[in-house]
Amino acid sequence: MDAFKAEGGFLAEIVEAANGDTDSIKLSVVHPDRGLRGKQWQLEGRLKDLTGKNTPTVIDPLVDSGDQPLIHELGILNATSAILVKAAAFGKIHLVGVCNKKPTENNQSPESDPFLAIDGKVLQAIVELIAAGAQVGEQHQRELGKVLNATR
């Protein structure tokens, strides 16, 4: 998260609902850890839109001064700005995000140094590399299992 000058980040699983109900999102990892692992809420708004596309989403409302409003869909994380990327790994859809731009040393206002579209593309590239590595590792594990079973 230091690379994005973000205060926090998360990995969440998109949980497909049965019986045509609305899907939900379940937190797998949150940094810093605030006891939110396993928390689940309804997938809606911009998060739901993100699951239907393969491009990163940057949510960084421009506010002239004062407190930035919470992002409704990420209120549980107290997020006022975020970069969100969809990732597929291990047969599941995940959402990876970094939240809340830190104030810089030269400029104490995160509003004047927002997350940019290029930040979203960088996060997406990193996530895709990690997902590809995980898929290769999973494939090697299956092949090793087949070899071990064949030698018994």
* pLDDT tens digits for range 84-143: 999 888 788 899 999 998 876 765 565 667 888 899 999 999 999 988 888 888 888 889
Ramachandran area for residue 25 (φ above 0: left; ψ -120 to 50: alpha; else beta): beta
- Cα–Cα distance for residue pair 96/82, rounded to 1 Å: 10
pLDDT, one tens digit per residue, over 119-136 is 999 999 999 998 888 888
Per the DSSP assignment, residues forming a β-bridge with 96 are 11, 85
Percent of the chain topping pLDDT 90: 34
